[in-house]
Amino acid sequence: MEDSVPRSSVSMFAGLVGASQVLGLLAVVLTGVWMGHYRGGFAWDGSAMEFNLHPLCMVLGLIFLQGDAILVYRVFRNETKRNVKLLHGIIHLLTLIISIIGIVAVFDFHRATKIPDMYSMHSWCGMATLVLFCLQWVMGLLFFLFPVASLWLRAMYLPIHVFCGLTLLVMAIGTSLLGITEKLLFSIMPTYSKFAPEGVLANVLGILLVLFGALVCYLITREEYRRPPNPEEESLSVHFKTLTEDGSPTTP
Amino acid sequence: MEDSVPRSSVSMFAGLVGASQVLGLLAVVLTGVWMGHYRGGFAWDGSAMEFNLHPLCMVLGLIFLQGDAILVYRVFRNETKRNVKLLHGIIHLLTLIISIIGIVAVFDFHRATKIPDMYSMHSWCGMATLVLFCLQWVMGLLFFLFPVASLWLRAMYLPIHVFCGLTLLVMAIGTSLLGITEKLLFSIMPTYSKFAPEGVLANVLGILLVLFGALVCYLITREEYRRPPNPEEESLSVHFKTLTEDGSPTTP
């Protein structure tokens, strides 16, 4: 992004992206430590150890990877739009696969231990987030990667796609915080209020997730970090759309 | 907003603002019904009835009123900026007063019933939201209502102020969802998983809050609903800043 913005803005951008990656990775590691060290580790056998895969997959997939899939439009803002779109779609596909494993793990655990499904706000918000995420991914694929919609329709849908993407990331983070609170109250209710180390670790994890989400939203919504308009790319996308399958009407 | 945008956009805007008000008011009413009907009503005596004021004040203040204070910049986009700013500041002051009553209620209840403070993620997120809200209110007052900062500084701060305002609304909603989950698990854990009416009502309340927040964020971030630039106002704000105390450098 050196071409179009001042050097101080570039340093600030790099610093904020770096900070987001540190926060996101730390959140994934803390989830692993919480489930691995305090909750007995991981397995695929219907036990609580299978449940433990659920938080890990959701934080890794629907939060860290989804956040990074969104950020590629800012980090690789001087690469060709086609390549960035492909990367955006592929990371989201990976997000989807990991999240589905996480969802299967918790339903499997519930079935094995006879716990009812879908009664809590965490489950309602989580299911809504996953269903809307799938819808958003398919719509994005149809509108932007294999553009079957008209340029006018794509231009109209683009800001909605961006808004919904950030909303889904925020919903995923909110849902995780609900999950963390549920898990703590189910597991350590008597010691949680005495600042048990497990409770403090899980609370810190929640704060890291909030900071990660706030940073990604800030980086995406700041005007100066947006992808600069490329008239050549736009013109190609208008006149040779079927040949290039590359252009989109405005800057995401 | 009839002057600058097409009629269909005006109808859509009016419909979305109307929907946000229905959702917000419904959320306040549901909170009242939950605390009034299922949790025994309200009092100021250190009992659980004093605690019941906490959710009501926070949903009314830090969510509904904060959301509406933000929306005034879009709803009254053709009024003078000075009046809209005043209204924005006054509703936020009301938000602050109601929220402080809500916070005092819960600390008072904790002291009377010997429940430890500030151990849960709900309390961490809630305290962070309230402290940052106070900071944001004071900064807004200094920068925009009694502009002590230079025009350049105000122009630089404005997008940060807008971003932080929306972030605080989202944090308030996330914190409320955590509070709802906590309250349900403390009060009706054995029946929550059997879809007890109180649990369903509280979950529905959570979904209403999410929808209210999503609508406010959508209305604020859509380009076509922004306040149209007013060259006369801008010019006044540059040349007669001390006389008018009215202009701000860009459109909020």
pLDDT in tens, A118-164: 999 999 999 999 999 999 999 999 999 888 889 999 999 999 999 99
Best of B162, B200, B210 to disrupt the A interface (most A CBs within 10 Å) is B210
Alpha-carbon distance B68 to A3, whole Å? 40
Q: pTM for this one?
A: 0.92
Q: Say if A182 is an interface residue toward chain B (CB within 8 Å).
A: yes
Whether the pLDDT of residue A3 is over 60: the answer is no
Q: B178–A181: do the CB atoms touch at under 8 Å?
A: yes
Alpha-carbon distance B87 to A168, whole Å? 31
Alpha-carbon distance A34 to A243, whole Å? 50
Q: Say if A193 is an interface residue toward chain B (CB within 8 Å).
A: yes
Alpha-carbon distance B198 to B194, whole Å? 11
If you search the block for the tokens 């796609």, which residue do you land on?
A161
**Dihedral angle sign, alpha carbons of residues B41, B44, B47, B50:** positive
What percentage of chain B exceeds 90 in pLDDT?
82
Whether the pLDDT of residue B251 is over 60: the answer is no
Residues 6+ apart with CB under 8 A from B231: none
Q: Say if B214 is an interface residue toward chain A (CB within 8 Å).
A: yes
Query: Per the domain annotation, does A96 fall within a domain?
Result: yes
Model pLDDT, residue B2? 46
Query: Per the domain annotation, does B231 fall within a domain?
Result: no
Alpha-carbon distance A150 to B171, whole Å? 37
- ipTM, 2 decimals? 0.91
By CB atoms closer than 10 A (0-12, 13-18, 19+), residue B191 is middle
Query: Per the domain annotation, does B165 fall within a domain?
Result: yes
Alpha-carbon distance A92 to B144, whole Å? 41
Query: Per the domain annotation, does A199 fall within a domain?
Result: yes
Q: What is the mean pLDDT of chain A?
A: 90
Beta strands in chain A (DSSP E): none
Task: Assign residue B64 the CATH number of its domain.
Answer: 1.20.120.1770
Q: Which amino acid is at B205?
A: L
Q: Say if A207 is an interface residue toward chain B (CB within 8 Å).
A: yes
Which tens digit of pLDDT belongs to each residue from A60-116?
999 999 999 999 999 998 899 999 999 999 999 999 999 999 999 999 999 999 999
Model pLDDT, residue B215? 98
Query: Per the domain annotation, does A250 fall within a domain?
Result: no
Least CB-CB distance to A125: which of B163, B210, B221? B210
Q: Say if B206 is an interface residue toward chain A (CB within 8 Å).
A: yes
Question: Model confidence at A242, in pLDDT bands (50, 70, 90)?
Answer: very low
Alpha-carbon distance B178 to B157, whole Å? 31
Tell me which residue range forms the domain holding B156: 16-226
Query: Per the domain annotation, does A233 fall within a domain?
Result: no
If you search the block for the tokens 């189910």, which residue do you land on?
A186
Whether the pLDDT of residue B156 is over 70: the answer is yes
Query: Per the domain annotation, does B41 fall within a domain?
Result: yes
Are B43 and B11 contacting, i.e. CB atoms less than 8 angstroms apart? no
How many Cα atoms within 13 Å fall on the side-chain side of residue B8? 0
Furthest-apart CA atoms within chain A: distance in Å: 67
* CB pairs < 8 Å spanning A and B: 103
Q: B223–A159: do the CB atoms touch at under 8 Å?
A: yes
Residue B214: list chain A partners with CB under 8 A.
Answer: 167
In total, how many domains does chain B have? 1
Query: Per the domain annotation, does B62 fall within a domain?
Result: yes
Least CB-CB distance to B121: which of A167, A173, A203? A203
Alpha helices in A76-150 (DSSP H): 81-113, 121-140
